[in-house]
Structure 1
């Protein structure tokens, strides 16, 4: 009898800590398992677009839960919180949750400092401490965000802005305030213009940007409606923009000159506005397209077709969609590519968008053995991701489940489930968009029953879900052997999950495929750490 060379239960652990026994219920009445504060915060944050209702939680309830969690964790462990918020804004690509998180972390730590309750566990910085300004600086990654954060702070905490917030904003301004960003983001629609932010925080020009002092001066003059051009020496894009607008009065055709548009730092919104209703839209879009970012291109496909943009121009757009490097740098969520594909009015964009969607799922791993993939298609999954999107958590779940099945074709069983369940056919070499057409709305959330019906000695089970199982549907891991890993991918961040925290029972979440990278780590018997600690 073999003594050592036997199959053992892997004991690798993931970062999400879940209770071993139920402490509540899901929103549909099944036994619910709570998580510790960091785990609940993480799962909520990676699915939280702030101010958005979900199927089971109103926006106010959800936002309050998020703020309370971030305040608790920031006081207890500043180092973890700073690393988390830095990752959330950068790799997680979630703006609002990051800004709110930084503001509330600072507010909580300032309150706690009055009673000496600020924790420094795991914290970098002088004497083991984290400076409050670091939270603010870390999450400000786009030039309109300093104003966004100040607007949030004043609305939530009043007009008195503490020094750490001002200093963190000032640190970020040195990185973010450029000529192009001034033209794009400093508009009358903003409550806090660039000049307002400068007035409040008194930033110094960055050491490597000697022209930035003039930029600050121009922003202040623009804000107050004064002549600024004479102060713009050394700011060539701003000067070119002003001259372009002057030239347009006598030479309307300059609006179709792609090189002049680029030299003037003209955004596509400004170019369309300046062109007016009488402009030749096909020519105008053809001139603007070379200067547009990938997200703007994906959002304007209908406008391109309605304007009659020529095929050779459309081909240049599609070449960018087919470029995996550009797709990665765009940091667009996979569901945004699906939205573009669904709303594109003509067939010419289809294949390139399918390639872009596939490229946006670059973290999907190739796995050994056989995998059962269950995609939640219950009614609660059909709540929209945001008010501005027609896409739902059900769409996101289908994208991720189908991508994993296609990456591991021939070694997976892809199943959609709700009240009932059904296998989703995946054919070799076919389009991901075509596979997504086979998913449906299947009613309730009978997770346990779906696992019981479809598990057939697979080497692992992956469930993509909001975890809100119906009453009568218990722990889905109870019907598979203890040595078989179960990975629950939570897309909604509700308080209670559908199963206990046990060996080989792992939870991760988010709106990107980055979480898939944990599976090979865990199965190599290495602990799956927080994503910012994986190196």
Structure 2
């Protein structure tokens, strides 16, 4: 009889992140049974959570940076085409600026050290998407690998300069506080103006003149630069000119510039009303407290709220969902709440509505209380709560559970505010201890669900059972039930045997990888996100 080729035999979906074995071969930082991932999968998960130069609960900053570099070196030598696609996706879709820049620099360094050519110039260019990043790349390279710039680095940075340098970029990013100014980038890389930008030659020359203090005259084609200079001169005599919103926009003025020029000479509410039309969504949500404290009018506040809530605006901003949680916590008034709720919904649009019954387990252990970065007040536990609540709001039958030493079931408000539900969940952190008894929580809460989603840093405690390492998280529920791990930190030990039947791991701070979950949950294979 036919054993495999039958109508009842279903294919097993396969994800891109895979472990090297189907049985545990190592342990977590807390002694739980763990697996080793294949290098490309480990690099993907690590890069999605790596803020570069930042410590994590179980790893020092130096240890994390060293592990990241080593992974990049190994993969870049073996698969440069994969590396180029990965870096471009990491920077564009996943929004990881520092990690993509370091990955590009270290990939090229490793390949040049081994005498490998081809792809190197494109790898550098793939990481640079904002006008200040060519200078960032040169700063990182010279600080890490010396002042000698290899040709692929020069050419990749020069390509980015021609693509990114504009008048508004010069005014915003070419500041005295930068170690590498626009002129330094141009002079070190010998960048040529883009053929389709006839004004760029004059911009490049002006940037160099500006760097060396000989920019008395502004070229005729550089109308934004000229308008900026004229407005600054007028504002020194009459600050009221800064209240003209159209002039601020035409002069490429940033909100920081305007506040600095005005000082205490103008009413803050009127000043913000002039600045708001020129501000991007990130600047808007960062300044909600300032708007309230200045007494911004309800009419202008409604326009700010409309822009914050606009799905197209949020999609193009590529802001991490946790930015809206942070803004919600910082804003003193209630008038921003609904707009931020809508923005959060738009920023988690890739979180799927999963059919059937889903168990969502969110780690609230002590290690999850560490901050995402030194500059952020958002913790990994906040990230877990955000994605847990987002999944619960998408699904009709979701059991949302927090766990540490023990576990608790959390009810969400149907049709209510996701931000309020996240705050309510976070308010229960510490309620059930500070350990990471993941296996015990799974065994206690799994009740025939169609799938399990685990949001955690994946550093489970050892669970007593057969074998020296105990029972693994991967084996805590039946093998025929899909388990999706959402990794918030990117540690090397893996508690899910991803790549085996019904076991998958995704990660990061963006909702982009949830597209993989949707594909996999429907039984389809999911390759690397950029392929």
TM-score (norm 1): 0.94
Shift of 1:72: 0.6
Match of 2:390 among 391, 403, 410: 403
In the alignment, structure 1 residue 16 sits paired with structure 2 residue 17: yes
CA RMSD of aligned residues (A): 1.6
State which drifts further: 484-493 or 513-522: 513-522
3-state SS of 1:498 partner? coil
State which drifts further: 522-531 or 200-209: 522-531
Q: After superposition, where does 1:49-64 map in structure 2 within 5 Å?
A: 49-64=51-66
* Distance in 1 of aligned mates of 2:521 and 2:429: 33
Shift of 1:250: 3.2
Matching residue of 2:188: 200
Runs of 5+ consecutive residues of structure 2 not aligned to the other structure:
465-470
Matching residue of 1:379: 366
Match of 2:484 among 487, 511, 520: 487
Matching residue of 2:175: 187
3-state SS of 1:489 partner? strand
What are the Cα deviations for residues 100-153 of structure 1, in whole angstroms up to 9, with x where unaligned? 00000000000011xxxx4xxxxxxxxxx7421101111110000000000000
Shift of 1:271: 0.4
What are the Cα deviations for residues 286-330 of structure 1, in whole angstroms up to 9, with x where unaligned? 100100000001001111111111111111100001111001111
- Whether the 8 Å CA contact 1:475–1:500 is kept in 2: the answer is no
Matching residue of 2:197: 209
3-state SS of 1:347 partner? coil
In the alignment, structure 1 residue 433 sits paired with structure 2 residue 433: no
State which drifts further: 467-476 or 444-453: 467-476
In the alignment, structure 1 residue 463 sits paired with structure 2 residue 454: yes
- Whether the 8 Å CA contact 1:218–1:228 is kept in 2: the answer is no
- Whether the 8 Å CA contact 1:79–1:130 is kept in 2: the answer is no
Shift of 1:499: 2.9
Matching residue of 1:475: 472
Shift of 1:20: 1.5
- Runs of 4+ deviating beyond 4 Å: 3-10
- Whether the 8 Å CA contact 1:99–1:139 is kept in 2: the answer is yes
3-state SS of 2:336 partner? helix
- Whether the 8 Å CA contact 1:10–1:504 is kept in 2: the answer is no
- Whether the 8 Å CA contact 1:9–1:483 is kept in 2: the answer is no
Match of 2:276 among 278, 286, 289: 289
Shift of 1:426: 1.5
Match of 1:273 among 256, 260, 276: 260
* Distance in 1 of aligned mates of 2:429 and 2:463: 20
State which drifts further: 475-484 or 260-269: 475-484
Match of 2:441 among 450, 463, 466: 450
In the alignment, structure 1 residue 532 sits paired with structure 2 residue 518: no
* Distance in 2 of aligned mates of 1:503 and 1:329: 36
Matching residue of 1:123: none
Shift of 1:23: 2.2
Shift of 1:479: 3.3
Match of 1:496 among 493, 496, 504: 493
Number of paired residues? Answer: 516
3-state SS of 2:237 partner? coil
Q: After superposition, where does 1:305-454 map in structure 2 within 5 Å?
A: 305-409=292-396, 411-439=397-425, 440-442=428-430, 443-454=434-445
3-state SS of 2:530 partner? helix
* Distance in 1 of aligned mates of 2:333 and 2:521: 44
Match of 1:520 among 518, 521, 525: 518
* Distance in 1 of aligned mates of 2:383 and 2:472: 23
* Distance in 1 of aligned mates of 2:217 and 2:376: 40
Q: After superposition, where does 1:78-117 map in structure 2 within 5 Å?
A: 78-113=80-115
Runs of 5+ consecutive residues of structure 1 not aligned to the other structure:
119-128
